[in-house]
Structure 1
Amino acid sequence: MKDKILEKASKMFMSLGFKSVTMDDIANEMGISKKTIYQHFSNKTELVKETASYLFDEITKGIDEIYRGNKNPIEELFNVKNYISDYFKAGNQSTIYQFQKYYPKIHDTLKKKHLEKLETCINKNINRGIKDGLFRNDIDISIISRIYFYGSSNLKDNDYFPIEKFNPEKVQLEFLEYHIRGIGTSKGIIKLEQLLKNQL
């Protein structure tokens, strides 16, 4: 039952927002009593915490699958961007904003966990790109991977990119192009421009 609650809660939080959805809403949607939910989660904050971890694990599985596909490093970055974009596309645009605003401690903890995971992936991606001649060999990988992480992490921050002014998908694409042009060789830039045409 706990896994079913997490699955349902994750869908509802993603589509309606972490603040907007109540324990009653989840219980009614599942056709169970609120008491049943409280048997597994002592309060909504605990449910949000475990749901956020559940979502993180689901997204991580998808990203790992992409990296196992042995695409070239620039294609990998585009595939990860498209995967994450599609994952959040069905959700309410205010979902991330609500999560950051109303559950900042949980958000910060998850962000650190995300950094550890993504930094490893980006390091491998850049190393392969250098080996394949797509990325410059004179960059500091540890610095670039963190710049990429913190930059990409703030793309969905409503304070920086309010959704009424900025199209989220365009922001992500512009950032990815900015990143690759900054570290790409001439060979890498050619590949980037080919992929950009496919995005249009």
Structure 2
Amino acid sequence: MHTFALYLSEMRDVIIEKASKLFLQLGFKSVTMDDLAVSLGISKKTLYIHFENKYELVKEVTFTIFEKVIGDIIQFKNEAENPIEELYCVKMEAMKYLGNEKTSPNYQLQKYYPDVYQNLRKKEYQYLGKFVQSSLQNGIDSGIFRSEIDVNFVSRLYLNGMLGIRDIEIFPIEEYKIEDLFENYLDYHLRAIVTKKGLKTLTQFKSIS
């Protein structure tokens, strides 16, 4: 019984891993359960043993990817030389999962799985909020960010803006490139809170990145 339970757990992980790759490559909407079963070399019946429907699979994959992103962000924070570099590293990580095409996870979650997207937004506020607050405080302590800023307010404002620029109704993908939106917003955010020392650091970082 123990061996069978282990097999089921391992198979579930394999399905999530394969589905993640296909969803990121082709889009949540484009990949069917039939496509996934064929790519895994298993029957659709076996697939449905682990996931009741595609919605449940999309939800599981979305939050699995999110947990990986959070892990990568923690690593960036530990390795970055300063809070400005931290935020740019987070931006680069985010760009791996966004993109401007209608196959992008950002577009398809909003369009076809709005409930999953809303739950993802809540998790982003919960987990990224702590990261942003810590980053802001580190910037203040190191003299890069202005000491008078309200850390809680600015962190919420920053996160709300990052979510806003991903809103496909406010910024249609036909008119705006997501990488330009992220770059412009990050520059706007940092210039509003940096000290003279921070501005010098920002300018130097952008000149070599």
For structure 1, which segment, 85-94 or 154-163, has the greater mean C-alpha deviation from structure 2 after superposition? 85-94
Superposition pairs of residues 79-158 of structure 1, within 5 angstroms: 79-88=89-98, 93-158=103-168
Note closer, same or farther for the CA distance 1:36–1:90 as it changes in structure 2 (3 Å cut). Answer: farther
Q: Is the 8 A contact 2:99 2:179 kept in 1?
A: no
Q: Which amino acid in 1 is paired with 2:73?
A: I
Shift of 1:101: 2.0
Q: Distance in 2 between matches of 1:154 and 1:48?
A: 23
1:134-157 Cα deviation digits (max 9, x unpaired):
101111111110111111123222
1:151-190 Cα deviation digits (max 9, x unpaired):
1123222222222222221211111100100111111111
Instruction: Confirm or deny that 1:54 pairs with 2:64.
Output: yes
Q: Distance in 2 between matches of 1:87 and 1:97?
A: 10
State the percentage of identical aligned residues.
43
For structure 1, which segment, 88-97 or 20-29, has the greater mean C-alpha deviation from structure 2 after superposition? 88-97
Note closer, same or farther for the CA distance 1:150–1:163 as it changes in structure 2 (3 Å cut). Answer: same
Which TM-score applies when normalising by structure 2? 0.89
Shift of 1:78: 1.1
Q: Distance in 2 between matches of 1:167 and 1:97?
A: 12
Q: Is the 8 A contact 1:15 1:90 kept in 2?
A: no
Shift of 1:106: 1.5
Shift of 1:131: 0.5
Gap runs ≥5 in structure 2? 1-10
In structure 1, the residue matched to 2:15 is 5
The aligned length equals: 199
Q: Which amino acid in 1 is paired with 2:77?
A: Y
Q: Is the 8 A contact 1:15 1:95 kept in 2?
A: no
Aligned Cα root-mean-square deviation (Å): 1.7
Shift of 1:86: 3.4
Q: Which amino acid in 1 is paired with 2:192?
A: G
In structure 1, the residue matched to 2:182 is 172
Q: Distance in 1 between matches of 2:154 and 2:19?
A: 36
Which TM-score applies when normalising by structure 1? 0.93
Q: Distance in 1 between matches of 2:118 and 2:195?
A: 35
| Structure number with higher relative contact order (C-alpha < 8 Å, ≥ 6 residues apart) | 1
Q: Which has the larger radius of gyration?
A: 2
1:42-98 Cα deviation digits (max 9, x unpaired):
111111111111111111111111011152111111111112223545986542111
For structure 1, which segment, 51-60 or 99-108, has the greater mean C-alpha deviation from structure 2 after superposition? 99-108
In structure 2, the residue matched to 1:19 is 29
Q: Which amino acid in 2 is paired with 1:65?
A: Q
